[in-house]
């Protein structure tokens, strides 16, 4: 499996880069802001539909765990050799978020290309957590 890690600082173009290549033969998930004023984000399931990911409130971020479960199931059921997972981060370090799907996909033999985006400041922790040793790094910082 060819693993490509797309990294960079916040708003460095990681999602934009993945959206560009997702128009090819990829399946997976892109994380997009749907309302900057209200700071709402959603999963865009490539070639499927959209699921609310989280909203920011005065006291912090609120994640929609039901939708994380749906997206984990969706990712683990993909029958495609090319997969994108946008925005792996702190939740996955805590074995939450898309942890289950990423762990499963990394064990699959039929996946040829896996593109994962993550913030530059934690990418070393994440590759260690998921035991990713052979990868190509695209740093957009």
pLDDT tens-digit profile of 22-35? 877 888 888 887 77
Q: Does pTM top 0.85 for this prediction?
A: yes
What's the domain count of the chain? Answer: 1
The mean per-residue pLDDT over the stretch 89-103 comes to: 94
Q: How far apart are CA 3 and CA 85, in angstroms?
A: 11
Q: For 31, list phi and psi in degrees, rounded to 5.
A: -100, 120
Residue 130 is part of which domain span? Answer: 2-139
What is the structure's pLDDT at 68? 87
Taking a C-beta distance cutoff of 8 angstroms, is the pair 76, 85 a contact?
Answer: no
Query: At 84, is the pLDDT very low, low, confident or very high (cuts 50, 70, 90)?
Result: very high
Q: What is the CATH number of the domain that holds 70?
A: 3.40.50.300
Q: Distances from the Cα of 116 to the Cαs of 20, 34, 105, 123, in angstroms?
A: 14, 21, 11, 10
Residues 6 or more apart whose Cβ sits within 8 Å of residue 20: none
């Amino acid at each position: 499996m060819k693993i490509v890690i797309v990294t960079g600082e916040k708003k460095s173009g990681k999602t934009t880069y993945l959206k560009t290549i997702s128009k090819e033969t990829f399946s997976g998930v892109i994380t997009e802001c749907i309302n900057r004023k209200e700071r709402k984000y959603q999963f865009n399931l490539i070639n499927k539909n959209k699921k609310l990911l989280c909203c920011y409130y005065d006291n912090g971020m609120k994640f929609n765990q039901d939708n994380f479960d749906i997206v984990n199931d969706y990712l683990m059921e993909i029958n495609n050799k090319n997969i994108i997972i946008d925005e792996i981060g702190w939740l996955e370090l805590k074995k939450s978020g898309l942890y289950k799907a990423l762990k499963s996909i990394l064990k699959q033999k039929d996946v040829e290309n896996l593109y994962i985006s993550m913030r530059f400041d934690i990418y070393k922790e994440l590759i260690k957590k998921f035991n990713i040793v052979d990868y190509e790094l695209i740093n957009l910082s």
